[in-house]
Amino acid sequence: MQKKRVTLADVARLAGLSPTAASMILTGRPDTRLSAEAHAKVHAAAAELGYRPNVAARALRTDQSRSIAFISDYVATTRFASGLIRGALSAADAAKNVLLVLETGGEPARTLRAIEAALDRQVDGVILAAMRAREVFLPDIAIPVPTVMLNGTNARFPTSVLPDEFEGGRTAVRLLVEAGVTDRLVLLGHNPEDERGQFRSEPISRRLAGIRAEMAAHGLTFATELSSWDWEVANGYDLVRRLLRKERPKGLLCLNDRLAFGAYQALGEAHLSIPGDVALISFDNDELASYLRPGLTTIALPHGNMGQLAIELLLGAKPAAGEHLVPMSAVRRGSLPTTTL
């Protein structure tokens, strides 16, 4: 006894009206001249039958599917990076949209397949998200629906959502200054001399620019700047171990939380206390930051808000071109000394 799907025609029949009337009433057209009585009857009938519109049929007619493609190089590299999806998901849900999630692994062929699969399904918009790469590769295929770049940029699609790295960089330095940590400062993760000719991604360049701008504003300089191309835990550990053989820093500005974790390990081995001997501040607000002991003070990547904004831009009248910068907020934990004024 398999139930047939309830169609609009069924609703109309029960309400004693035409499908036209039922459609107009249920889709909530404003300029319709149908009577209040008709409205009531149709809604009653729909409720009684448990009518749910067939999205495929609607899509066929209107070219709108109420679904959005979220195409990402990686679905999530960190728990916190999954905030990008989560934010998008909840904004989409709020707008009665659904997310088609596709992963490309950064591979051109898979990216092309993903875009085609999405377009075949009549998505109303596309989000091109980058978890790792910042400059997003895009195959040469036209995307005839609104598109926004998330956490990355590409010349073909002018609308993008990015963290406000410049301000984030400034905030990190400001926190250090507020905590009274102003000398024997070490920058962990980048050294312009060592990386001459290499190209750091745009957002990271801005983070660094923000840091330097605020340092300069306070008349401060780094005692040492340690370069590492990768920013993994092991790099942080190695760098700080080597650092400690030569000098005793008072503050470490780490370019991400994984580097900071490595620094914790090296400092722990050297029996240096945090933040008593060495203060740390970092970026990302990775899952790790809350696990560390003491907790790591860090400038959060606002993933959730970014994902949400991307959807909102897409669903808005017309995605405003340009970069939309989302503020990075400081998450204060125990790795900076508290100033007792």
| Binding positions for DNA, rule: CB under 7 A | 4-5, 7-9, 16-21, 23-24, 26-27, 29, 33-35, 37-38, 51, 53-54, 57-58, 60-62
Out of DNA, its own copies, none, what residue 198 binds, judged by CB under 5 to 8 A for its kind, is: none
Residue number, 29 or 293, with CB nearest to DNA = 29
CB of 15 to DNA, least distance (A): 9
Out of DNA, its own copies, none, what residue 338 binds, judged by CB under 5 to 8 A for its kind, is: none
> Which of 206, 212, 258, 324 is the binder for its own copies (CB under 8 A)?
258
The length of the chain is 341
- 73 counts as binding its own copies under rule CB under 8 A: no
- 241 counts as binding its own copies under rule CB under 8 A: no
Out of its own copies, DNA, none, what residue 17 binds, judged by CB under 5 to 8 A for its kind, is: DNA
Nearest 5°: CA angle at 126, between 120 and 130?
125
Residue number, 27 or 77, with CB nearest to DNA = 27
Residue number, 19 or 334, with CB nearest to DNA = 19
Residue number, 37 or 193, with CB nearest to DNA = 37
CA 257 to chain centre: 17
Cβ(130)–Cβ(157) below 8 Å: no
CB of 166 to its own copies, least distance (A): 27
CB of 36 to DNA, least distance (A): 8
- 4 counts as binding its own copies under rule CB under 8 A: no
Out of its own copies, DNA, none, what residue 37 binds, judged by CB under 5 to 8 A for its kind, is: DNA
Name residues contacting its own copies, limited to 284-303 (CB under 8 A).
287-288, 290-291, 293
Would you give the binding string for its own copies spanning residues 74-103, x where CB under 8 A is met?
xxxxxx-xx--xx--xx--x--x-xxxxxx
Name residues contacting its own copies, limited to 105-124 (CB under 8 A).
110, 113-114, 116-122
- 261 counts as binding its own copies under rule CB under 8 A: yes
Three-state secondary structure readout of the chain: CCCCCCCHHHHHHHHCCCHHHHHHHHCCCCCCCCCHHHHHHHHHHHHHHCCCCCHHHHHHHHCCCCEEEEEECCCCCCCCCHHHHHHHHHHHHHCCCEEEEEECCCCHHHHHHHHHHHHHCCCCEEEEECCCCCECCCCCCCCCCCEEEECCEECCECEEEEECHHHHHHHHHHHHHHCCCCCCEEEEECCCCCCCCCCCCHHHHHHHHHHHHHHHHCCCCCCEEEECCCCCHHHHHHHHHHHHHHCCCCEEEECCHHHHHHHHHHHHHCCCCCCCCCEEEEEECCHHHHHCCCCCCEEECCHHHHHHHHHHHHHCCCCCCEEEEECCCEECCCCCCCCCC
CB of 153 to DNA, least distance (A): 33
- 229 counts as binding its own copies under rule CB under 8 A: no
Segment interacting with its own copies (CB under 8 A) among 25-33, 69-77, 153-161, 164-172? 69-77
* Residue pointed to by tokens 């508290």: 338
Residue number, 76 or 95, with CB nearest to DNA = 95
Cβ(201)–Cβ(134) below 8 Å: yes
Nearest 5°: CA angle at 118, between 96 and 23?
40
Cβ(254)–Cβ(267) below 8 Å: no
Q: Which residues bind its own copies (CB under 8 A)?
A: 2, 52-57, 59-60, 65, 67, 70, 74-79, 81-82, 85-86, 89-90, 93, 96, 98-103, 110, 113-114, 116-122, 144, 233, 237, 258, 261, 265, 268, 287-288, 290-291, 293
